[in-house]
């Protein structure tokens, strides 16, 4: 039996593999990667590597074994149709007879187009008959704190979310929830709505950045059109800018503000405070 993590060299995947290494022997972990060279550090720690690509179904043939527990980390290639990519993994898992397939999905209340591929993947999982767990990850602190340079340059947090609030958590928190499922029992066919313990608004976020830097940081709420233009002006593809602008509208409607407690219950600890993520971002 192996615990298999797809997208293992991505931001979330590395957290998952790192935390798994604290709980199970390295030889029980398989990291699925596209570029073996990027996973040399994992291999050096005894993790088994498997090279596979969501866009090449044949690379998943024979990758899983009966009894494996698999974490399918959702892809980030929006233009290529993520649901079809995920179907490749689901089909391979079903053919192998894995014990559990956990999937990093989106919050159940999220209506933005970002959730479309996730809903399609959830539907495919349900139809497959594969024992599964839906990890409906909320928003990540790092979506904001990893790129604080523009905030510091302009002295402002610029969003199109109005007075909306976000119950975000750190990647390490969401990874810990996935590890709890992969190493625990009784999670078959369960759905977890994962979010931070505390919802915050962007004015509070701006104030926290200001507090930690000793600078005046304002929150400036702009129109969706201006926000999308700002993103495309920064080099994002128009389609992706539209998806992210849709998330802003969802935040304004309160769709990412739920604090149901599933995350802290799974991990057995409180979620990481936003202030801690801001501090890490400023150091980074």
pLDDT digits (tens, 9 = 90+) for 165-191: 999 999 999 999 999 999 999 999 999
Q: Is 159 among the domain residues?
A: no
The arithmetic mean of pLDDT across residues 205-222, rounded, is 98
Q: What is the DSSP letter of 73?
A: P
> Which of 123, 102, 109, 242 has its CA nearest to residue 175?
102
Q: Is 95 left (phi over 0), alpha (psi -120 to 50) or beta?
A: alpha
Reported as a single tens digit per residue, the pLDDT across 47-77 is 999 999 999 999 999 999 999 999 999 987 7
Q: Is 145 among the domain residues?
A: no
Inform me whether the pLDDT recorded for 79 exceeds 80.
no
By percentage, how much of the chain surpasses pLDDT 90? 95
Query: For position 80, what pLDDT does the model report?
Result: 64
Beta-strand relationship, 156-159 and 218-221: parallel
The arithmetic mean of pLDDT across residues 242-250, rounded, is 96
Query: For position 76, what pLDDT does the model report?
Result: 78
Inform me whether the pLDDT recorded for 284 exceeds 90.
no
Q: Which residues contact 269 (CB under 8 A, 6 or more apart)?
A: 176
Q: Is 241 among the domain residues?
A: no
Query: For position 75, what pLDDT does the model report?
Result: 85
DSSP H helices in the chain: 11-20, 40-44, 82-96, 116-128, 142-145, 149-154, 171-183, 202-213, 224-233, 238-252, 262-267, 274-283
> Which of 228, 233, 164 has its CA nearest to residue 201?
164
Q: What is the CATH number of the domain that holds 52?
A: 3.40.50.720
Q: What range defines the domain where residue 19 resides?
A: 3-138+171-195+259-271
Q: Is 209 among the domain residues?
A: no
Inform me whether the pLDDT recorded for 8 exceeds 90.
yes
Cα(38)–Cα(136) distance, integer angstroms: 27
Q: Is 71 among the domain residues?
A: yes
CB-based burial, 109-127: b 16+ in 10 Å, e otherwise: ebebebbbbbebbbebbee
104 DSSP β-pair partners = 135
Query: For position 238, what pLDDT does the model report?
Result: 94
Contact 251, 164 (CB under 8 A): yes
Total domains in the fold of the chain? 1
Query: For position 81, what pLDDT does the model report?
Result: 79
């Amino acid at each position: 039996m192996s615990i298999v993590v797809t997208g293992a060299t991505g931001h979330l995947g590395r957290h998952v593999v790192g935390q798994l290494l604290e709980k199970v022997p390295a030889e029980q972990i398989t990291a699925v990667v596209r570029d073996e060279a990027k996973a040399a550090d994992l291999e050096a720690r005894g993790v088994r590597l498997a090279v596979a690509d969501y866009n090449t179904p044949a690379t998943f043939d024979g990758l899983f074994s009966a009894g494996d527990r698999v974490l399918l980390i959702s892809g980030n290639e929006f233009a290529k149709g993520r649901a079809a990519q995920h179907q490749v993994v689901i089909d391979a898992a079903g053919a192998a007879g894995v014990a559990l397939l956990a999937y990093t999905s989106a919050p159940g209340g999220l209506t933005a187009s970002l959730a479309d591929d996730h809903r399609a993947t959830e539907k495919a999982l349900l139809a497959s008959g594969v024992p599964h767990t839906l990890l409906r990850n909320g928003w990540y602190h790092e979506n904001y704190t990893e790129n604080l340079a523009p905030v510091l340059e302009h002295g402002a947090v610029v969003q199109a979310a109005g007075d909306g609030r976000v119950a975000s958590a750190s990647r390490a928190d969401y990874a810990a929830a996935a590890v709890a499922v992969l190493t625990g029992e009784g999670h078959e066919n369960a759905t977890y709505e994962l979010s931070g313990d505390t919802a915050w608004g962007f004015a509070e976020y701006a104030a926290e950045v200001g507090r930690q830097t000793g600078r005046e940081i304002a929150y400036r709420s702009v129109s969706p059109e201006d926000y999308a233009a700002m993103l495309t002006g920064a080099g994002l593809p128009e389609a992706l800018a539209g998806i992210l602008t849709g998330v802003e509208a969802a935040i304004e409607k309160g769709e990412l503000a739920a604090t149901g407690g599933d995350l802290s219950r799974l991990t057995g600890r409180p979620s990481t405070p936003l202030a801690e993520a801001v501090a890490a971002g400023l150091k980074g």
